[in-house]
């Protein structure tokens, strides 16, 4: 169960954890630093006080459901993890996606994926786009969740 977020939690989050915003990118939409981000940091941490658990749903329940529009089904392919016949959703659902879901691909990234979290490989400067190498993603420890 997730603990209630307080006003103090939000204010601390704004001071300490908000590193990025969405902006226009050569790739369409991208994630850009609004302040310098140190190396070894997850720039997408939020104010939640309990670990998020991914919600595991069989692919067939989404793919074969005629009440789910095809465009929404395609978005699940773009944003969520499909593995071993299941789709893994974040606990707040599709309409609550964080900016981390908009990280673009690069062969020269400044983020790495580690246990479903992004970690900065080096210091990222204000105005720099955050990118990751999609080919390095792993599917280990998926049910532990944790990506913010």
Neighbours of 33 (CB within 10 A): 20
| DSSP assignment letter at 81 | E
- 102 within domain boundaries: yes
Whether 18 is covered by a domain: the verdict is yes
Number of domains in the chain: 1
In a domain, 11, yes or no: yes
**Per-residue model confidence as pLDDT tens digits over 91-141:** 777 877 788 889 999 999 999 988 778 999 999 999 999 999 988 875 543
Rounded to whole angstroms, the Cα distance separating 117 from 44 reads: 8
CATH code of residue 105: 2.170.270.10
70 domain-assigned = no
Tell me if 17 is assigned to some domain: yes
Q: Look at the pTM and tell me if it is higher than 0.75.
A: no
Does residue 104 lie within any of the structural domains?
A: yes
Residues 6 or more apart in contact with residue 134 via CB below 8 angstroms: 105
Neighbours of 113 (CB within 10 A): 17
């Amino acid at each position: 169960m997730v603990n209630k977020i307080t006003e103090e939690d939000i204010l601390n989050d704004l001071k300490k954890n908000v590193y990025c915003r969405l902006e226009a990118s050569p790739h369409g939409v991208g994630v850009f630093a609004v302040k310098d981000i140190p190396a070894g940091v997850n720039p997408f941490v939020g104010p939640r006080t309990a670990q998020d658990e991914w919600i595991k749903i069989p692919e067939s329940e989404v793919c074969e459901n005629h009440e789910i529009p095809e465009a929404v089904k395609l978005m699940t392919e773009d944003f969520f993890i499909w593995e071993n016949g299941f789709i893994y959703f974040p606990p707040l659902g599709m309409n609550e996606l964080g900016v981390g879901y908009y990280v673009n691909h690069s062969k020269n990234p400044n983020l790495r994926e580690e246990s479903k979290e992004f970690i900065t490989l080096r210091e990222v400067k204000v105005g720099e786009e955050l990118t990751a190498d999609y080919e390095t993603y792993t599917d280990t420890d998926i049910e532990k969740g944790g990506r913010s």
